[in-house]
Amino acid sequence: MPKFTVGVIGLGVGESHIEGYESHPNCSVTKLCDINKDALNAVGKRHPEKLLTQDPDNVIYDPDIDIVSIASYDDCHKNQVIASLKNGKHVFVEKPLCLSNEELHSIVCEMRENRHLKVSSNLILRKCPRFIDLRKRIRSGQLGQVFHMESSYDYGRLNKLTNGWRGQIPNYSVTLGGGIHLIDLMHWVSGEKFIEVFALGNTLPTRGSVFSGNSLTSALMKSASGCTISLTSNFGSITPHHHKLCIYGTKATFEQSHTNASYFFSRDPNVEPKKVASPYPGAHKGDLLYDFVDSIIGKKQPLVKAQEVLDAMSVALAIDKSIISGTPQKILYQNLNDL
């Protein structure tokens, strides 16, 4: 079995990638990169014998690197993804894949030229045991036909907008930076494809700060089956970090709030809902990486396929376009197989 070597770019959340890769017997992380020298040296001390560099090109253009794991600032992703593919690297990237439809199109064109290379993104909610169970229940028909999905990405970390690098990126999108997790989750558990969106946003929680973009976006969507979907990306919430989710079916309802999660199988108020015991979040940031390496070896498709990453990006970008235009938007999916 081949041995794959990995370079990690960005050592904030990227540090958790190291353990994820090295849990696989056919993979080793050999090079670490961060533009911040202090951060690089601190992580390097915790992971001795790794080569250290402040220049991402020393990872991307290294002929001995097979996989590039990208956890840099969001506005660096597009160029690093494309350069990595051009240099024959498999790519795993933190969300979002990029920041605009134009950037997404450029990445798709490069992916079409390098179909032998695997690309995936860290849409980690797919590894949550609670949501894995929910998907099984929906797919088995236990909830009946899903007719409405309601979700809110409550970030609970407002200081990362007002004091961190996110506030320095022009037009930073909280939909791309957070809500995309729930877009992918709702796609995945329901099997629904969203076709149209109308969205609004506001700046109230961050007014007067260095962050000038919408710190909250709220979207109403519909799917091809007629199911309606709501998504709020709420970076100003005074709550712990949380993913609120309700799935309404014709036979049952799933509800996850900040305090608990339950299945409702009756409209009768005297019938107790069934409390959910399965773990949430129950997954670590590097948990998709073993599966990603397996997909490179050829054992299976990655849990988050490249087209599914593109699908979630297409929805998130349509939400932001609707906010800017003030009009409903058709969701135009970028298809990897289109000529």
One domain, residues 175 and 212: yes
- DSSP string of 244-306, one letter each residue: EEEEEESS-EEEE-SS-EEEE--S-TTSPPEE--S-SS---TTTTHHHHHHHHHTSS--SS-H
- What does residue 67 show for φ and ψ, rounded to 5 degrees? -130, 130
**Whether the Cβ atoms of residue 313 and residue 120 lie closer than 8 Å to each other:** no
Rounded to whole angstroms, how far apart are CA atoms 242 and 120?
23
The pLDDT of residue 170: 87
> What confidence tier does 244 reach under pLDDT thresholds 50, 70, 90?
very high
pLDDT tens, residue by residue, 273-288: 999 999 999 999 999 9
pLDDT tens, residue by residue, 120-143: 999 999 999 999 999 999 999 999
In a domain, 329, yes or no: no
Q: Would you say residue 291 has pLDDT above 80?
A: yes
Per the structure, how many domains does the chain have? 2
**Residue 79: both structure tokens together:** 């160029």
In a domain, 219, yes or no: yes
One domain, residues 103 and 194: no
Domain of residue 138, residue span: 125-275
- What does residue 99 show for φ and ψ, rounded to 5 degrees? -125, 0
Q: Which helix (H) or strand (E) holds 137?
A: helix 129-139
The pTM (predicted TM-score) of the whole model is: 0.96
**CATH code of the domain in which 37 resides:** 3.40.50.720
Pairing of strands 194-202, 216-223: antiparallel
One domain, residues 85 and 158: no
One domain, residues 99 and 208: no
Distances (CA, A) of 65 to 40, 252, 295, 312: 19, 49, 17, 28
CB hemisphere CA count around 33 (13 angstroms): 22
One domain, residues 60 and 177: no
One domain, residues 100 and 152: no
One domain, residues 138 and 267: yes
Share of the chain above pLDDT 90, in %: 95
Q: How big is the chain by its Cα radius of gyration, in Å? A: 20
One domain, residues 110 and 148: no
Q: Which helix (H) or strand (E) holds 39?
A: helix 37-46
Please identify, among 243, 258, 275, the residue that sits at the C-terminal boundary of a domain. Answer: 275
One domain, residues 134 and 113: no
Q: Spell 293-328 as b/e; 16+ CB within 10 A means b.
A: bbbbeeeeebbbebbbbbbbbbbbbbbbbbbeeeee
**CATH code of the domain in which 225 resides:** 3.30.360.10
Per DSSP, 91 falls in state E
With left for phi above 0 and alpha for psi between -120 and 50, is residue 69 left, alpha or beta? beta
> What confidence tier does 299 reach under pLDDT thresholds 50, 70, 90?
confident
One domain, residues 144 and 177: yes
